[in-house]
Amino acid sequence: MHRVLVLGAGKIGSLVTCLLAEHGDYEIHLGDITLDAPKHLVEDLGLSRVTPCMLDVRHPDAVSTYLSAHPVDAIVSSLPYFCNPTVAGLALTHQLHYFDLTEDVEVTNQVRVLSAGASRAFVPQCGLAPGFISIVAHELMTHFQTIDTVKMRVGALPVHPSNALKYSLTWSTDGLINEYGNTCYGIEAGEKVPLLPLEGYETIELDGLLYEAFNTSGGLGTLADSSVGHVRTMNYKTLRYPGHCEKIHLLMKDLKLNEDRETLKRILERAIPQTLQDVVLVYASVSGTKEEGFFEENYVKKIYPQCIKGRLWSAIQVTTASSLCCVVDLVLASPGTYQGFVTQESIPLKDFLANDFGACFR
């Protein structure tokens, strides 16, 4: 029986808790800044293996006291990205495995430094992008003798767009603004290079529908670092309905709201609705040489909302939580295999897809 502390009972943390608790091999402590969300989740869904608790990482000593009184094997952070260095520090102090969902490059670098030489696994970026997309792309890359181009494209979109942005808030607004406003990275001419967000515009057609794609930060994860010198070109772009990028560019660049992100967050959360009727698009493409010549291989998947424990969960919740749970399960099932800083691309795709939590990606 694995014991896990999940911090954050929001959109993703709630489903992570539900999936792990339903699996049967897990006992979960679900912590949030109030008891309301954890208690309601446990009561509404009848999660007998979940213990609600009130924990606030802004008071790390109190969290540390709780961990001393309630020993666990791992901490999962589904908190905002800026909380994760504190959580990783607690994991190191208590010799616990650590997992998070961050797309923030600097936070991942902090976790990398902190986890150097650790006896437990520290696995950031366990979501969809970064996360699963790197696992898929890396697997495709192993099919080639030399690699020319790696394209990674992911989008979470409303099935029925109803506003000028053709978008709904499907996850963290802070994370979304980070993606649109922070420096991106890729590989060009074999070297890792910084790229501008909202640039690199292109269109792509999937199943007869047209989408646009453009540079966003964080989705590449650590794959560029591990691929320098082996790939000519590599980049990650977000998929949206045509017209979205132009309007976001107006907000963030022309109106300079990238310099006033709190105002931008208030505008988006006041004006853009949330939805559970979404679709997640995952597209990875690798081209290169094999013995037979120059080839391209693709992974393409569309994932829709699912009903779990009698509740409808959005596609972005399902894919993000499933990806994290899958990585947690693989690491805890092989305690001697993963130690220190663990990259997503070091997780074998065949193991991921064979795991119970990887079913939505098959």
**CATH code of the domain covering residue 155:** 3.30.360.10
Q: How many CB atoms lie within 10 A of CB 256?
A: 11
Residue 334 lies in a domain: no
66 and 157 in a single domain? The answer is no
- Cis check for the bond before 305: say yes or no (omega within 30 of 0): no
Residue 100 lies in a domain: yes
The tens digit of pLDDT for each residue in 173-231 reads 998 999 999 999 999 999 999 999 999 999 999 989 999 999 999 999 999 999 999 99
pLDDT for 49 equals 94
Query: Where is the domain boundary, 101, 124, 147?
Result: 124
Contact 129, 217 (CB under 8 A): no
27 and 76 in a single domain? The answer is yes
303 and 169 in a single domain? The answer is yes
142 and 289 in a single domain? The answer is yes
pLDDT for 236 equals 98
93 and 69 in a single domain? The answer is yes
Question: pLDDT by residue for the chain (362 residues), tens digit each?
Answer: 999 999 999 999 999 999 999 998 999 999 999 999 999 999 999 999 999 999 999 999 999 999 999 999 999 999 999 999 999 999 999 999 999 999 888 999 999 999 999 999 999 999 999 999 999 999 999 999 999 999 999 999 999 999 999 999 987 899 899 999 999 999 999 999 999 999 999 999 998 999 999 999 999 999 999 999 999 999 999 999 999 999 999 999 999 999 999 999 999 999 999 999 999 999 999 999 999 999 999 999 999 999 999 999 999 999 999 999 999 999 999 988 999 999 999 999 999 999 999 999 99
Contact 345, 135 (CB under 8 A): yes
Query: Where is the domain boundary, 64, 93, 124?
Result: 124
72 and 41 in a single domain? The answer is yes
Residue 346 lies in a domain: no
For residue 149, what are the domain limits? 132-311
Residue 337 lies in a domain: no
Residues 6+ apart with CB under 8 A from 108: 102, 124, 125, 221, 222
Query: Where is the domain boundary, 91, 124, 157?
Result: 124
291 and 162 in a single domain? The answer is yes
For residue 25, give the CATH number of its domain: 3.40.50.720
Contact 167, 250 (CB under 8 A): no
85 and 179 in a single domain? The answer is no
Residue 195 lies in a domain: yes
* CB half-sphere exposure, 355, CA atoms < 13 A: 25
62 and 147 in a single domain? The answer is no
115 and 158 in a single domain? The answer is no
C-alpha angle with apex 307: 213 to 73, nearest 5 degrees? 85
Residue 319 lies in a domain: no
What's the structural domain count of the chain? 2
288 and 151 in a single domain? The answer is yes
pLDDT for 188 equals 97
Residue 338 lies in a domain: no
pLDDT for 170 equals 81
What are the Cα distances from residue 324, in Å, to 12, 107, 139? 10, 17, 18
94 and 180 in a single domain? The answer is no
Residue 360 lies in a domain: no
